[in-house]
A and B are shown apart, each in its own frame.
Chain A
Amino acid sequence: MPKRITVPFGPQHPVLPEPIHLDLVLEDEKVVDVLPSIGYVHRGLEKLVEKREFTEYIYVAERICGICSYIHSNTYAQGIEKIMNIEVPERAQYLRTIWSEYSRLHSHLLWLGLFADGMGFESVFMNAWRLREHVLDDMEATTGGRVIQGVCKVGGVRKDIAPEKLDEMLKGLKGMEHELHDLTNVFLNDSSVSHRLRGAGVLQKGDAYTLGAVGPTARGSGIAIDLRQTGYAAYGKINFKPVVEQAGDSYARCAVRAKEMFTSIDIIEQCIKKIPDGPVDVKVTGAPDGEYFARAEQPRGEVVHYIKGNGKKNLVRHRVRTPTFTNIPPLVTLLKGCELADVPVIVLSIDPCVGCAER
């Protein structure tokens, strides 16, 4: 029997954008066991609800993560609005949907770049980030922030987008689409990429379900879960189908994200065509009294914000369950039995966002 050795992986590692530590137990070059540990970037944001008013806390909630920031604020606002029975104007709902999809686009482009970099394909990394810049420019022109938008508030949104700007945004996205096709073509059809990804880290459908995988990790294994189908914000009025792949390997997870970008562009197009006129926010008075589980689909999967208030300006409890946290048990299963050289690619394939997971 070969001797077992333990190799520490992370928290500082060239492929890891954020700190997660994995103890890899190896037999020769094969990973037989994985012990994950987190806690390197814990900031205690949830405790801050006791000191900040619930309307100001949304800016703190948005800063849980630097990539899926907008959707965190959206989910938090949804929770408060449900507790306080606030009816958000329809235009605000559509604007929230547009910004959510923009944030998904930029997150997936970021991830495709990092993934290519993890495989050693640096020119694709640069190209993905160049395309992401178009998305970020539109975000900045409409919200004022590139990655931290700060545009969502309890009771609506803070900024409106002029109809001419909406048309311009749509034109820009349509112009970007063929460049996106060129980019995703590399991930989907290039032989060297598929040689690296196919068969690396296979997650069976049953495992994905029992381990509670969410988002593209689950959809890459053939489970058609997508929280957008519950119809929060304006998703109920939009036609779309979740992208599902059956293979369950790194290639399938990559393909889900690559194809989801086109779904996002399609959703934005439908929103821009259907968006009604009207106000974008309502005045909020009083304070939340009650509790609610708000759920939404982030680029990485389902996020849950648990909010509890007692009728005062400060909330009593705020708890966030982020998609990366849920995807760590499937990651451990994925890594068992793989080669050491495949570990970076497999870790990146679940799109780990540790800043989110630890808050």
Chain B
Amino acid sequence: MTANPICLQEAIEKWNCAGGESVLDFSSADRIDAATARALEELADRSSVRITLRGVNIGVYRALKLLNLAHRFSFVS
């Protein structure tokens, strides 16, 4: 399934309120779409803490590399 950009948007808002450690679980996302990519970029722009993406598959990881976004996140299995 494709990651849901609406959920990501909600996550951004919650983070900005909560602060602290930020982990996004991508383990059920087979791929990302353009909206998700934009949301992730915005998230990286706006968040003051380092964001970790969990369970990112290699296809999504490669897409993030092509988008020049991968370096803005940490990744855990």
Partners in one complex: no
B: residues with CB less than 8 A from A are none
